[in-house]
Structure 1
């Protein structure tokens, strides 16, 4: 059963409360991809505080100004004013505020589409509010627009925020807070298709997860069926280009030249598109840990997009037309293999958490994949100052003790060619289930399975 409570935003709430306790004008940006929980975070913070909150819409700026006018009238208990500019509205707010007052403008990025409004907010921030006790919180989902407005040196609003909270998806371990009595294997499947995005998790009960995945992704009326396309169309002027690039990565094209060839884009231009997708947290660029390499590879960071482009995109038209059979057959056949890819990310989170609480033989400062000339190690964790290395293989399968020993012996072989000869080396294994793991631990191997994730 789902636990309907606020999960894992303690650090952000603490930051907001510390800024609230200060005096004088404060400007805070809250960013992150759509559905990540920005509005929920701020509204949790607003409880029991004096605030004017407005959620802007994808309409002309005059419509959103009218919404702000109505909110001002309601807050100050006066007839709805008719301010013709945002400057006039904020001048009134600053003059009438008695003590600390929060103004929360949700989906502020809808205003950033208008250059004249962006310039007007520079005047508001520089001239209207500095002598006030207003705490202005701006939330934005369009990362591209926000970066242009607040982080480009040439922008009128550059460098004017006191704090920026960039919300990330929930981590795997938080699923056990979100759902009660969630089996670890079900948690892996849920995380592999939602990437820990709160809005997506709300669509699942945690019971019979594969059936819920089928209902949420392979029904043309389902929210998650269309979400990926709509996000790309909302964020980008050339959504079809980004769509093709993500399709290429889903098909195993990981290097710039491979992606460019599949997408019919010049490699130099492809690199720019890839950087933007990396900024948005959809893709990640990887370099082999502990090895000098100039050319990295690109993989999915966002597991919702990874799943969608692997299992939904190739069959989008068929599903939309009411013929999902091919997609469902592909899903049933290959979902377990896809979980192997997702489980690597979950295993990495698990090691980072063990590292944080001091449950490993040494504190690592760097972790990632390693590969060279056809050899690959799933995770390598390093402490370069102490010259210590932990090599870990990740397997989404149930292993007998004999199979586990074979994997660990092969891992030792690969580690010998990884270039850490003079380092202290440790070897580990993370799998769905490992028979005889206690015996392996007695031989100084580090072995974990899903039981340990709880």
Structure 2
């Protein structure tokens, strides 16, 4: 698969390796980078491509969640199979613990040229090896950083990778951080040869995951892609989410149950509890905290000048949201090779599902695009709602969240192919503005099917929003 959309990350890694090279002969030429991102986002592939292109001696080790002893044995095997010079040292004398292994590794790294050491799935070692963070910190301070080496630590558990470099932890301020996100809508569109509106659809279904995008034929439409994928029970679209969730929640069935309830479309605490089987307040709170902590679910409050407790939950990854809604409940059907039935179900529910699922992506696009015309850049681009949904505003630009001092603009999203944002839609937006503020803040519309209303301060379509991702 062509490595699309990672040029910036490759340049950054190249720059770090160049820093290491320029420090050869110095007292501490070593550099460390901590790379985190969701599973199957392409972190390992990025680093493999970088290491191969660099031509530097390197070792790539991937932890597997086994015992500390088994992980140590695999680490030794990775070094023996690497391109590091003098790697045979590990064959002659196998280290008995991780401290010895890292010390021995440092001894064989070259002194006169840069090398690369990669430890993938670092959180597994943090869980399975006693005091691993302290062991790593001592090895880095005493041996590894004194060599011209680029140490790359990779992890899919976002909270654990954030903790690794946080204040009060042994490895604090010893590594730079890099967050690898999904392919942007523009990158998805470029990779698949799609126009902006269709690229946004593809970004929703694939989540920008390279593995799923790679299965999408260039120029193919959404329904052709889904027909092919749903007919194959082992396609990336079907199995990627299942594998990721199995790795995220190997022993937390309740978190998976709550996630399924949120993914099915439930957004409020009460409705989620009911959909999850009537679980208790305490159990749901604990599960929700787990999901939010892992960045799989977002817990959001309305943005307005008045405080509110009307919290709502949503699945952050649009692909996972699509999978939980349209795929997971019907896997037995797909496994019986009746993906055609599943496809018709997606067709029937697509417009309604997309209308809600696309909103966070469009808000982020707008935030990246601003300032534009008379609209200022906004530190926060969120939404507003009431408990009864009698007032819902799709876009709220403000100076802070959730309780703003000042509202910069309000807006509405209408994401339909053959229906423009018209005067009726504008009137509804004006009524909702009056329910939120007495100030005549600017109004804007985001519409897939065009805008016919007069009196808006700004309007954006797929083409304008896509430019935000190309800056």
Does the alignment pair 1:32 with 2:48? no
Q: Compute the displacement of 1:244 (Å).
A: 1.2
Which stretch shifts more, 124-133 or 182-191?
124-133
Please give the residue correspondences for 1:39-58 in structure 2 after superposition, counting only pairs within 5 Å. Answer: 39-46=44-51, 47-48=53-54, 50-56=56-62, 58=64
1:396 pairs with one of 399, 415, 419 = 415
- CA displacement, residues 415-437 of structure 1 (integer Å, 9 cap, x when unaligned): 01112x13x51111112211547
Cα distance in structure 2, aligned partners of 1:221 and 1:162: 38
Cα distance in structure 2, aligned partners of 1:277 and 1:92: 39
Match of 2:140 in 1: 125
Cα distance in structure 1, aligned partners of 2:118 and 2:160: 18
Cα distance in structure 2, aligned partners of 1:321 and 1:400: 38
Cα distance in structure 2, aligned partners of 1:360 and 1:386: 20
Look up the SS of the partner of 2:441 in the other structure: strand
Q: Compute the displacement of 1:18 (Å).
A: 4.4
Match of 1:225 in 2: 238
1:81 pairs with one of 83, 90, 103 = 90
TM-score, scaled relative to structure 2: 0.83
Residues 130 and 286 of structure 1: CA distance in aligned 2, closer, same or farther (over 3 Å): same
Q: Aligned Cα RMSD in Å?
A: 3.0
Does the alignment pair 1:196 with 2:208? yes
Cα distance in structure 2, aligned partners of 1:98 and 1:327: 59
Which stretch shifts more, 35-44 or 299-308?
35-44
Contact 2:396 2:407 (C-alpha < 8 Å) held by counterparts: no
Please give the residue correspondences for 1:84-103 in structure 2 after superposition, counting only pairs within 5 Å. Answer: 84=95, 85-96=97-108, 97-99=110-112, 100-103=114-117
- CA displacement, residues 349-389 of structure 1 (integer Å, 9 cap, x when unaligned): 32112216x45522222111111242101111124799453
Residues 141 and 16 of structure 1: CA distance in aligned 2, closer, same or farther (over 3 Å): farther
Residues 57 and 388 of structure 1: CA distance in aligned 2, closer, same or farther (over 3 Å): closer
Match of 1:185 in 2: 197
Q: Which runs of 4+ in 1 moved over 6 A?
A: none
Please give the residue correspondences for 1:206-285 in structure 2 after superposition, counting only pairs within 5 Å. Answer: 206-217=219-230, 219-263=232-276, 264-285=278-299
Look up the SS of the partner of 1:81 in the other structure: helix
Cα distance in structure 2, aligned partners of 1:93 and 1:312: 46
Match of 1:428 in 2: 444
Cα distance in structure 1, aligned partners of 2:57 and 2:121: 16
Cα distance in structure 1, aligned partners of 2:449 and 2:457: 15
Q: Compute the displacement of 1:149 (Å).
A: 5.4
Q: Specify every segment of 5 or more residues in structure 1 that has no aligned partner in the other structure, as ranges.
A: none
1:414 pairs with one of 432, 447, 457 = 432
Cα distance in structure 2, aligned partners of 1:126 and 1:79: 25
Look up the SS of the partner of 2:298 in the other structure: strand
Contact 1:30 1:138 (C-alpha < 8 Å) held by counterparts: yes
Match of 1:111 in 2: 125
Cα distance in structure 1, aligned partners of 2:147 and 2:295: 36
1:352 pairs with one of 359, 367, 388 = 367
Cα distance in structure 1, aligned partners of 2:187 and 2:351: 22
- CA displacement, residues 320-354 of structure 1 (integer Å, 9 cap, x when unaligned): 23343542331121112212123212321321122
Cα distance in structure 1, aligned partners of 2:157 and 2:451: 47
Q: Compute the displacement of 1:277 (Å).
A: 1.8
Look up the SS of the partner of 1:170 in the other structure: coil
Residues 147 and 217 of structure 1: CA distance in aligned 2, closer, same or farther (over 3 Å): farther
Aligned residue pairs, count: 440
Cα distance in structure 2, aligned partners of 1:95 and 1:386: 57
Look up the SS of the partner of 1:397 in the other structure: coil
Cα distance in structure 2, aligned partners of 1:409 and 1:209: 33
Does the alignment pair 1:310 with 2:310? no
Cα distance in structure 1, aligned partners of 2:240 and 2:74: 25
Which stretch shifts more, 39-48 or 299-308?
39-48
Contact 1:65 1:86 (C-alpha < 8 Å) held by counterparts: no
Does the alignment pair 1:377 with 2:399? no
Residues 167 and 63 of structure 1: CA distance in aligned 2, closer, same or farther (over 3 Å): same
- CA displacement, residues 119-140 of structure 1 (integer Å, 9 cap, x when unaligned): 6434423443243333211111
1:338 pairs with one of 335, 339, 353 = 353
Cα distance in structure 2, aligned partners of 1:380 and 1:8: 31
Contact 2:399 2:407 (C-alpha < 8 Å) held by counterparts: yes
Contact 1:399 1:431 (C-alpha < 8 Å) held by counterparts: no
Does the alignment pair 1:170 with 2:190? no
Which stretch shifts more, 408-417 or 110-119?
110-119
Q: Compute the displacement of 1:55 (Å).
A: 3.6
Does the alignment pair 1:367 with 2:381? yes
Contact 2:33 2:151 (C-alpha < 8 Å) held by counterparts: yes
1:69 pairs with one of 69, 79, 84 = 79
